[in-house]
Structure 1
Amino acid sequence: MSGPLVVVGDALLDVDVLGAVERVAPDAPVPVLDVAEERPRPGGAALAALLAAQDGREVVLVAPLADDAAAARLRELLAPHLRVVPVPWGGSTPVKTRVRSAGQSLVRLDTGGADGPVGDPGPEVARVLESASAVLVADYGRGATSSPALRTLLARAAARVPLVWDPHPRGASPVPGARLCTPNGSEAARAAVEFGVPADVEGTVAAASRRGEALARGWGAAAVSVTLGARGALLSFGEGAPLVVPAPFVPCADPCGAGDRFAAAAAGLLADGALPSEAVTGAVAAASAFVAAGGASAVRVGAAAPPASVAGTGSDRVADVIAATRAAGGTVVATGGCFDLLHAGHVATLEAARALGDCLVVCLNSDDSVRRLKGPERPLQPQDDRRRVLEALACVDAVVVFDEDTPEAALAGLRPDVWAKGGDYAGTELPESKLVQSWGGAAVVLPYLDGRSTTALVRTARDRGAALPNSNSRFIDA
């Protein structure tokens, strides 16, 4: 279905004040920030709209906008990316200013946001909603969805196209007929009290399941996805077993904006014809990639965002993992190998390498590279399987596959602070040492557990298989 993705909700202006803290004030025990720059960006529904536009979609933002300097700045930021259809509003534009250093927020200053009446949406808003391929309501509890006339228009849209409602505790309830509602865990806990589910235990999957089911029925929604942060999202259809979509592990320096990234991705996928289960799976992947890239603080107005199909795993996210680690002032560690049959020696080396820094990237030999190094019978597992097994380890943050015989080219792209090699290399010069030292890094050797190797495991399997009566050696070899 053609037509824009229409985002309806409360627009905010976010500002990051960035600098370095190197001393304490002489007149009070507080840090002194030497300001380096200020970065304004859209916030609230405006951020969700910008992220959808950066996915390459035609987007229209419908939002109450005040007649003040902050609103003018917000419209200036959005103008190159999307169309803004304002709704008259008697309040003042909320501005959230975060003072940050070394990837961490020191304080947040909130100004503006005074309440005021939301005016009639007018005929232009009605025309925009009638032309939509999908609608995303990003409710930040500041009155955008309280207008009875606008709610009537949204209810009509929900009967015609996919409507995603991202609720807020201070906002209005979703209109009936929403295709998907996306509360987070705490929002679901508060909202479900109205439908008889107590707000006792907030964080469990069982509690999220009960709340998602109650909210889907109570709100009259086709489905409710309760987002669970690092654990992914739970999708309930109001009855039957819910679908749980796990999130890949990613370093999280700043989760701000992850909910907007999730909702924008889900709405876009539904507009493309995806099922709710497919939309939530894609939205979890997109939100994970967004967080890995640094969250809202990494958003650049004028830049393209990672597509919603980014899975947040594998080599596609290596750059995001490294960028997030360095933004937080952390240490990037890399190691490498074939990791054909993962064994205790591998795990010991990987855990030791991860302990040297704040993220671990594994450089994995491709299938062709392993064959050249180990012979035509290797690898025993294809590279995609070996990569997935490594990514499942808590100590591994990302994996990059390289096709050369040595990892130098991969290392030159990654530029880790530490290159860790497992084995009996102590006192000798590692082949990669000079390369790593060229950008100020260090190459180190880690202890290796004696007697553990893939070759030994294969030999043991063949020997034991040959000793079995009526054994099929070809099966063992396979």
Structure 2
Amino acid sequence: MRITVVGDVLLDVDINGVATRLSPDAPVPVVDVADIRRRAGGAGLVATVLEQDGHEVSLVTALSNDHGASHLRRALSGVSVLAGAPLAPTPTKTRVRIGTHPMVRFDEGCAPAPVPASTGEMLAAITSAEAIVVADYGRGITANAGIRAALADAVHRVPVVWDPHPAGSEPVAGVAVVTPNLAEAMAAAKAAGLEPSTAAEEAGRYLLEKWGSGAVLVTRGEDGALLMSAGAVQGIPAPKTNVSDPCGAGDRLAGSLAVHLGFGLDLAQAATKAVGDASAFLAAGGAASLAAVTEAAVLDEVPEVSPVVEPGPFVELKGLELVGAGDLDPDGVRLAHAVRSTGGTVVATGGCFDLLHAGHARTLAAARSMGDCLIVCLNSDESVRRLKGAHRPIVSVQDRAELLLALECVDAVVVFDEDTPEACLAEIKPDIWVKGGDYIPEELPEARLVAGWGGRCVTVPFHPARSTSGLAAALAKVS
């Protein structure tokens, strides 16, 4: 089948490796990079999947002339790429994966872009298609007036499936199916003033009327999809699938739906098959399983980027450092400065945290709720030994730090060697210093120090029967 994909192309990069140790510089896992895989994402992923299925695919998009675009052209070697100038860099999304587990992602060049230009070849590919998929990723291609006019004309001749984006353009009237996911459908309904409790069916019906499409297929992950057309609502279950990476499911579904409609299946049949195809795609490994440009790990080939990181564990790669807690350095001092520079409130607490227990978790969660970040000042092994005796700590500082960072409420850990955290506090200068127990805040040893830069001390309730000593004693009885 001759299929045209219209949409925004992204460069997806997977840095794959293994982690078997912590860094000596900070309590973060070291990732030994095995390979770096680059592939086309967004509309490029739709085109790649359809081309690998044996279809004749044209991709109407925008491509820069930068380094990222050269990788995209290599990844799209089997696709006829018809591109206008985007006047923006190639958007690149890089994920670090340990085994099959994604650890962190950082983005480059993903700021809003100007509407790209179109060419006669691009418009001709829309006119000559037997089926069309619009993969809108909010980068402006669907806002081009000439492309919108060509699509508006095409809906009268061939099936057009439109996969929308919250930052993209509204589908042209008359497309066969629009395929928002559940979050997108609910957000659009809420923005229009519908009640927050609006059901998926109500949201879909609202979008059906708003967009003037033949149908709306609201995708719901493992719960399948909800198909709405004039006078009909049908739930489509998804086959049970073990999914390690959901990336690309919506792209696979939209492409398959256009193909099945192009072959003449009715709407319900095509949607059912498309949901099944998306599930099979994920079961086979999803986007990460597709052919990609793979390179051995050479540090000079890792792109230099300005990280914009999804929150997660702090990670260090050999030769490439990635950090968690927004785009902030894992060093707690830098984190404190960055948060404070944007008007945020820095909260800190401290202790040995030798055997992490429920009392610790409650105290840390309470502390985090008081501000915009929580930094834990952690006694080193030597410090714990001087305070608690030669038999302590039970757990090494590396493991204690790793466990603390695994808690969602902890943004950074700073290890100190002294008996008290005063020197650490003087560097961080928290707005709020939190202690657990029955202290009077003004009588804490750190109170005068913290007050010196305008901070304050706060205590949170002590939780009886929950202590490291008690837990250690209980464990000794069963050992």
Which band: TM-score by shorter chain?
A: 0.5 to 0.7
Equivalent residue, structure 2, for 1:283: 274
Deviation at 1:192, TM superposition (A): 2.4
Residue 185 of structure 1 is matched in structure 2 by 182
Alignment of 1:231-250 (within 5 A): 231-240=223-232, 242-250=233-241
Amino acid at match of 1:134: A
Q: Note the residue ranges of structure 2 that are not aligned, 5 or more in a row.
A: 294-479
Counterpart code for 1:167 = P
- Within a 5 Å distance, the mapping from 1:75-474 to structure 2 comes to 75-79=73-77, 81-193=78-190, 195-200=192-197, 207-240=199-232, 242-301=233-292
Determine if the alignment matches structure 1 residue 39 to structure 2 residue 37: yes
Once the two structures are TM-superposed, the CA of residue 120 in structure 1 deviates from its matched residue by 3.0
The 1-side partners of 2:113 and 2:64 are apart by: 9
SS in 1 for 2:169: coil
Shift of 1:195: 4.8
- Give 1:158 deviation, angstroms: 1.3
Distance (whole Å) between structure 2 residues aligned to residue 45 and residue 253 of structure 1:
22
1:289 and 1:115 map into 2 onto residues whose CA distance is: 33
- The CA distance in 2 between the partners of 1:212 and 1:190, in whole Å, is 11
Structure 1 residue 137 displacement after superposition: 0.4
Contact 1:92 1:115 in 2 (8 A): no
Q: Is the CA contact (8 Å cut-off) linking 1:235 and 1:244 kept in structure 2?
A: yes
Aligned to 1:383: none
Please give the per-residue CA displacement for 1:42-71, whole angstroms capped at 9, x wherever unaligned.
100000111111111111010111111111
CA contact (8 A) 1:65 1:86 kept: yes
Code of the residue aligned with 2:157 in structure 1: it is R
- Distance in 1 between residues matched to 2:113 and 2:65, nearest whole Å: 12
Structure 1 CA distance, aligned partners of 2:114 and 2:184?
A: 25
For residues 79-113 of structure 1, the C-alpha deviation after alignment (integer angstroms, 9 at most, x for no partner) is 1x210000221001011110001211111011123
Letter in 1 for 2:212: G
Q: Equivalent residue for 2:323?
A: none
In the aligned structure 2, how far is the partner of 1:200 from the partner of 1:284? 26
The amino acid that maps onto 2:217 is S
2:64 corresponds to which letter in structure 1?
A
Between the aligned partners of 2:117 and 2:235, the Cα distance in structure 1 is 40
Aligned partner of residue 145 in structure 1, secondary structure:
helix
Provide the C-alpha distance between the structure 2 equivalents of 1:115 and 1:186, rounded to a whole number of angstroms: 21
Instruction: Return the offset for 1:116.
Output: 3.8
| 1:18 Cα deviation after fit | 0.5
Describe the SS at the equivalent of 1:149: helix
Compared with structure 1, are the counterparts of its residues 117 and 282 closer, same or farther at alpha carbon in structure 2 (3 Å cutoff)? same
5 Å-filtered alignment, 1:33-72, equals 33-72=31-70
User: Does the 8 Å contact 1:5/1:271 carry over to 2?
Assistant: no
| CA–CA distance in structure 1, aligned partners of residues 114 and 47 of structure 2 | 23
Distance 1:194 1:222 in 2: 22
Runs of 4 or more, structure 1, over 6 Å off, are: none
Q: Secondary structure at the match of 2:37?
A: strand
CA distance in 1, matches of 2:234, 2:101: 34
Shift of 1:295: 1.4
Q: Which amino acid is the alignment partner of residue 276 of structure 2?
A: A
Q: How many residues align?
A: 294
What is the CA deviation profile of residues 316-360 of structure 1, one whole-angstrom value per residue up to 9, with x for unaligned ones?
A: xxxxxxxxxxxxxxxxxxxxxxxxxxxxxxxxxxxxxxxxxxxxx
Distance 2:139 2:192 in 1: 23
2:215 counterpart letter in structure 1? A
1:155 alignment partner AA? A
The 1-side partners of 2:5 and 2:195 are apart by 32
Which stretch shifts more, 141-150 or 225-234? 141-150
What is the distance in 2 between the residues matched to 1:88 and 1:8?
Answer: 15
- The residue type equivalent to 1:284 in the other structure is V
Contact 1:92 1:114 in 2 (8 A): no
SS in 2 for 1:19: strand
The alignment partner of 1:17 has SS state of: strand
The alpha carbon displacement at 1:263 in A equals 0.6
* 1:22 pairs with 2:20: yes
CA separation in 2, counterparts of 1:239 and 1:192? 19
Deviation at 1:72, TM superposition (A): 1.5
Q: C-alpha distance in 2, partners of 1:61/1:192?
A: 31
Name the CA distance, whole Å, in 1 between partners of 2:123 and 2:245. 37
Residues 17 and 39 in structure 1, CA contact (< 8 A), matched pair in contact too: yes
- Counterpart contact for 1:232–1:245, Cα < 8 Å: yes
Task: List per-residue Cα deviations over 1:118-139 (Å, max 9, x = no partner).
Answer: 3331211121111000110001
* Shift, 1:117, TM fit: 2.7
Over the residues paired in the alignment, what is the CA RMSD in angstroms? 1.7
Paired residues of 1:90 and 1:116 also in contact (CA < 8 A): yes
Counterpart of 2:206, as a letter, is A
Between the aligned partners of 2:230 and 2:65, the Cα distance in structure 1 is 42
Q: Is the 8 A contact 2:215 2:227 kept in 1?
A: yes
Distance 2:76 2:129 in 1: 19
CA distance in 2, matches of 1:31, 1:238: 54
Distance 1:183 1:94 in 2: 22
Distance 1:181 1:105 in 2: 30
